[in-house]
Amino acid sequence: MKISDFDAEKCLKNMEETSVLVAGDIMLDRFVYGSVERISPESPVPVLSIDRQSHMLGGAGNALANLAGLGVRAKVLSVIGNDEEGIEIRKLAKESGIDTAGLLMDEDRPTIVKTRYLAGHQQLLRTDFENKQSVSDQIEKALLQKAQELMDGIGALIISDYGKGVLSDKLIQGLIKLAKKNKIPVLVDPKGSDYTRYKGVSVLTPNKKELTEATNMAVNSDEEVSAAARALIKQSGVEAVVATRSGDGMSVVQKSVADPVHLQTKDIEVFDVSGAGDTVIATIAAALAAGADLVEASKLANIAASIVVSKVGTAPIRAKELREGFDGAYQAPLYDEDKAGEQVQRWKARGLKVGFTNGCFDVLHAGHVAYLAEARGKCDRLIVGLNCDASVKILKGEDRPVHDENSRAAVLAALSSVDMVVPFGAQKQGDDNTATALIEKLQPDFYFKGGDYTEDQIPEAPAVKAGGGEICIMKFTEGHSTSSSIAKIRD
């Protein structure tokens, strides 16, 4: 997807020098994984035998994660409790490079926690631990005072309203007043149906459902969306509406501009729309802070949204993916082990089974393609661990690899059977040259190995089994070999 007459690359570069403040309800998303093998004798309910847990930022934390992924210096203004969950939120935020100076502790309310219990592919239950009453006057005053300190140097303000009690009408208007005083654009992903509480903001980003609920108007066509957005601008006292329309793209309607702009989305397979609204508002805010106008910022956000809905779960956009999306060249991502681990957690949170295989894949041939397609057919997502160049030399000799790791990764990423590529391997002779450490990090459900192996001949087997994974040995397609292909070319 090309962006005409707009230097998107320069905008992304500028984002790295900007700061964006997110004010709102931050939460801890907890995922508890296990298996169900029996029904409780006490009552007819399943007994979940818990294997492991994982945590990630939720609520306003979704917008923060997207800003961090874009390289923006993100700041947060929110409230946590004096509890272990609050400590975990602060830890996760700091690990993502988020400024937590505005994360205030409230002794009188718990940290908001959403816990999802999953057995295999099935989510059994979600529990919400929260206090939705408004924060005290004292905390509200402290938040506004902290906001004054954090406003210095920021390029945009996002108000992330989940209706959990942090953002009172008084605090919202106080934040808007502060931002206007500092000539900072304010963006809101709205909640509820009365948007007059957001009077004075620069941009509202409702989806189609929210737009029709707020205006009681149909939103089935470009013209109807434009009319509803104009009505919302008038009744709410905002400057612009960027309406997100799922597969129909986005519409940008501005109070001071006569003609609306309708942005079409590219034709992609949608896996999950959760979190797409946070990606949109974070990308628009980051682009505005970097010097783009609203239409240019919305074009970037439209591409970002089309990328994240092809992922699974609440997955943030990353600058590299957005760059690749400019011309429609998005492929399976090339991740380091940390980013890969984050994505695997999101996949597993959706109950998806993750497969893993590894190899040099120096000269990709029909045998490889058939093997990877078969492996992908046995799982929901397939990760390929790719031996780095130094690792291949150790395994195959000084004249290998024929193609460097970037070239090999690009070819693998273009295959529909591959969902992620992760480089690994030793840098010098004597170092561990197996995929064991990577497997320990990712804990795949399946480990695929091609060839006439037995389990005790696979060095990665203990790590797979320790993580609860299953080893699947599959035969390569006969008559295909990288070494024989290279020999044939040389002869």
What is the mean predicted confidence (pLDDT) over 428-443?
Answer: 94
Class of domain 337-490: alpha beta
pLDDT recorded at residue 385: 96
Q: What confidence category does residue 482 fall into, taking pLDDT thresholds of 50, 70 and 90?
A: low
Active-site pick, 25, 189, 248, 278: 278
* Residue 180 CB neighbours (<10 A): 15
Q: Which residue has the tokens 């700091």?
A: 94
* Annotated catalytic residue 25: no
| Residues forming beta bridges with residue 157, ordered by sequence position | 21, 186
Q: What confidence category does residue 135 fall into, taking pLDDT thresholds of 50, 70 and 90?
A: very high
> Which residue, among 420, 395, 409, has the nearest Cα to 364 in the 3D structure?
409
Measured in whole angstroms, the distance separating CA 306 from the mean position of its chain's CA atoms is: 12
pLDDT recorded at residue 268: 44
Q: What confidence category does residue 144 fall into, taking pLDDT thresholds of 50, 70 and 90?
A: very high
The tokens for 373 are 């397609």
Q: What confidence category does residue 270 fall into, taking pLDDT thresholds of 50, 70 and 90?
A: very low
pLDDT digits (tens, 9 = 90+) for 82-123: 999 999 999 999 998 999 999 999 999 999 999 999 887 678
Can you identify the CATH homologous superfamily of domain 8-26+55-112+125-325? Ribokinase (3.40.1190.20)
Q: Measured between alpha carbons, how far is residue 51 from residues 45, 138, 181, 444 in Å?
A: 19, 42, 52, 14
| Whole-number percent of the chain with pLDDT over 70 | 90
What average pLDDT does the structure give for the chain?
Answer: 87
Sign of CA dihedral 39, 41, 42, 47: negative
- Considering 118-127, 219-228, 325-334, 447-456, the range whose residues carry the highest mean pLDDT is 219-228
pLDDT digits (tens, 9 = 90+) for 163-206: 899 999 999 999 999 999 999 999 998 887 789 999 999 999 99
The tokens for 272 are 């999950």
Point out the least confidently predicted range of 4-13, 20-29, 33-42, 142-151.
4-13
Integer Cα distance of 386 and 368 in angstroms? 13
Which stretches does DSSP call E strand in 399-444? 420-424
pLDDT digits (tens, 9 = 90+) for 307-340: 776 554 456 777 777 777 665 444 677 899 988 9
- CB contact at 8 A, 226 and 242: no
Point out the least confidently predicted range of 256-270, 418-432, 464-478.
256-270
Between strands 186-189 and 156-160, the pairing is parallel
pLDDT digits (tens, 9 = 90+) for 405-423: 999 998 998 887 898 999 9
pLDDT recorded at residue 366: 83
Integer Cα distance of 74 and 62 in angstroms? 12
pLDDT recorded at residue 370: 87
What is the mean predicted confidence (pLDDT) over 288-298?
Answer: 93
pLDDT digits (tens, 9 = 90+) for 369-382: 888 989 988 998 99
Rounded (10°) CA dihedral 326, 331, 337, 338 = 40
The structural domains of the chain, with segments of one domain joined by +, span: 8-26+55-112+125-325, 337-490
Residue 2 in this model has a pLDDT that exceeds 50: no
- CB contact at 8 A, 104 and 78: yes
Q: How many CA atoms lie within 13 A of 237 on its CB side?
A: 8
Residue 25 in this model has a pLDDT that exceeds 70: yes
Q: Provide DSSP, 122-175.
A: EEEEEEEE---SPPPHHHHHHHHHHHHHHTTT-SEEEEE--SSSS--HHHHHHH
